[in-house]
Amino acid sequence: MISQRVRTIQPSATLSLNAKLQDLIRNGSEILNLSVGEPDFPTPEFIRERAKQAIDEGWTRYTAASGHIEARQAICRHIARTRKIEVEPSQVVISSGAKQSLSQCLLSLVDPADEVLLGAPHWVSYPELIRLADGVPVTVKTDSKDGHRLTPELLEPHLTPRTTGLILNEPGNPTGTVSSADDIAALVEFARANDLWIISDEIYESLIHDGELHSPFSVDPQRVSLISGLSKSFSMTGWRIGWTVCNEAQAAAMGRLQSQNSANPCSVSQACIATALEHHDHPELLSMYETFRVRRDLLVEGLSGIPGVHFSVPGGAFYIFLDLSERLGSTGIALDAEAFAVRLLEEKGVAVVPGPAFGSEGAIRISFARPEAELRIAITRIRELLCES
C-alpha cells in the first residue's frame, strides 16, 4: 500500500525523540530535555501584536504561491543588509519553514541518482530529503579536533561524475561550526571548479557567538541557494516560515512546484516577516541572543577537561556535539553513543540525541535551548556519569 519512496523514510530523530520525552514529562517524569533544537523563548511581543493586527487587516487569504510580494520585498532588503547582495522578489520563494524550503529546493535541483555532498556530522533531515528527491547523499566526515572544518581537500575524494551539489550549513547543527571567510571562499571555488550547485542552510543566522557569518551566497549568488527563516532567529518555530533566495530561473521552478504541492505558507505568519526582519535589533531579540551566548560559555566551561571527551567550541546555534568515542566500546562507559544516551537518561534524567542521527558514531548532541539552571544541573550529572564510571 505504501509507496517505495515513503516506505524507507525514517522519522526525524530529533522530533520523534522530543515527542516521546514530552509524553514522559507530561506523565510526571523529571527529565532535563536537552534533545530538541527549539528556542525556549516566547515569540517576541511586537511580532505577536503584528499577527493579531494582520488577522484584522485581512491577511487571511491565499497569497501568491511563492509568497506575498511585501514579504518577499522585506526578505530582499534583509539580504541586501546582511549578505551585501541586491536581489529581486522574483528570486525569493517563501515556504512553510526552512525544512520545506530545503525539500522544494532539492526537488528542483536533484535528478535521479545525482550525488549530493554534505559534511558529517550533519543535520538529521538532509540525507532523507536528498533521498526523497531520488538523489544519493554522500557524507564526508569532519573532525572535532579541527573544528569540524569542511574543506575541498576532504570533499575531493568523494567527487564522481554523478556529483551535482553540495549542502553547507552554518552556523551548523549539530556542531555550531562557523567557518572563516577564506574557508567559505575555498568551498565556493571548489563548487565552481566542479560545476556543483550549493545549498547554504543559514537558519541559525542571528545566533552567532563568535565572529561573523560568511555566506557563500555573497560570493556566488547564481550558484548558491540560500535557505533561512524565522524559526530560530525570532523564536517562531510554530509559525512555519522559511525562504529560499536563489537565481531567478530556479526560484520560478520552485514556485511552480510549490503552487502544486502546498501553495503559499500561512498568510498571517507571512504578514510578520517584514516586522520581524526590520526589528532585527529589537532589545528582546538581542537579549535572547546574549542568553544563548552565556549558555554556550557555561557549557564549554562545564564540559571541558573530561578525560577522553572532545568537542569543538560552537561558534553559533545552540548545540554542543560531544565526541565520546574514546570512552565507548566493550570496556568503556557504554557500548555506543545510543547506549550512553540511554544510561544518561535512565541514571541521570538527562535527555540528549545520540550522534548516529547526525551521521556520526560515538558522539551525543546537547541542545542548550534550555534555561541556565537546568543546564547547570545537566552539566553536573553528565560529569558525574563520565567522571565516576
Q: Cα–Cα distance between 199 and 169 in angstroms, integer?
A: 8
Name the residue nearer to ligand GLU (CB basis): 124 or 188.
124
* Interface pattern 204-243 for ligand PMP (x via CB under 6 A): -------------------------x-x-----x----x-
> In angstroms, what is the minimal distance from the CB of 125 to ligand PMP?
7
Nearer to ligand PMP, 99 or 327 (CB): 99
Nearest approach, Cβ of residue 82 and ligand PMP (Å)? 17
Partner whose footprint covers residue 12, from ligand GLU, ligand PMP, none (CB < 5 to 8 Å by kind): ligand GLU
242 binds, among ligand GLU, ligand PMP, none (CB under 5 to 8 A by kind): ligand PMP
Partner touching 79 among ligand GLU, ligand PMP, none, CB below 5 to 8 Å by kind: none
* CA angle centred on 122, ends 138 and 355, rounded to 5°: 110
Q: How far is the CB of 202 from ligand PMP (least distance, A)?
A: 9
Q: Which does 218 bind (CB under 5 to 8 A by kind): ligand GLU, ligand PMP, none?
A: none
Residue 315 sits in the site that holds ligand PMP (CB under 6 A):
no
* Closer to ligand GLU by Cβ: residue 271 or 317: 317
Query: Which residues share a beta bridge with 140?
Result: 119
Which of 98, 133, 208, 369: binder of ligand PMP (CB under 6 A)?
98
Query: Shortest approach of ligand PMP to residue 231 CB, angstroms?
Result: 3
The CB-nearest residue to ligand PMP is 97
- Per partner kind, with CB cut-offs from 5 to 8 A, the member of ligand GLU, ligand PMP, none near residue 98 is ligand PMP
Task: Among 43, 63, 164, 173, indicate the residue that binds ligand PMP (CB under 6 A).
Answer: 173
**Distance in angstroms (rounded) separating the CA atoms of residues 327 and 325:** 5
Which one of ligand GLU, ligand PMP, none interacts with residue 66, CB within 5 to 8 A by kind?
none
List residues binding ligand GLU (CB under 6 A): 12, 14-15, 36-38, 99, 124-125, 173
Please say which residue, 76 or 203, places its beta carbon nearer to ligand GLU. 203
The 3-class secondary structure across the chain, one letter per residue, is CCCHHHHCCCCCHHHHHHHHHHHHHHCCCCCEECCCCCCCCCCCHHHHHHHHHHHHHCCCCCCCCCCCHHHHHHHHHHHHHHHCCCCCHHHEEEECCHHHHHHHHHHHHCCCCCEEEEEECCCCHHHHHHHHCCCEEEEEECCHHHCCCCCHHHHHHHCCCCEEEEEEECCCCCCCCCCCHHHHHHHHHHHHHCCCEEEEECCCCCCECCCCCCCHHHHCCCCEEEEEECCCCCCCHHHCCEEEECCHHHHHHHHHHHHHHCCCCCHHHHHHHHHHHHCCCCHHHHHHHHHHHHHHHHHHHHHCCCCCCECCCCCECCEEEEECHHHECCCCCECCHHHHHHHHHHHHCEECEEHHHHCCCCEEEEECCCCHHHHHHHHHHHHHHHHHC
* Binder among 115, 170, 183, 201 for ligand PMP (CB under 6 A): 201
Q: State yes or no: residue 169 binds ligand PMP (CB under 6 A).
A: yes
Asked if residue 37 binds ligand PMP (CB under 6 A), the reply is yes
Residue 305 Cβ vs ligand GLU, minimum distance, rounded to whole Å: 27
54 binds, among ligand GLU, ligand PMP, none (CB under 5 to 8 A by kind): none
Q: Which residue, among 318, 317, 358, 368, has the nearest Cα to 338 in the 3D structure?
A: 358
- Contact set with ligand PMP (CB under 6 A): 37, 97-99, 123, 169, 173, 201, 203, 229, 231, 237, 242
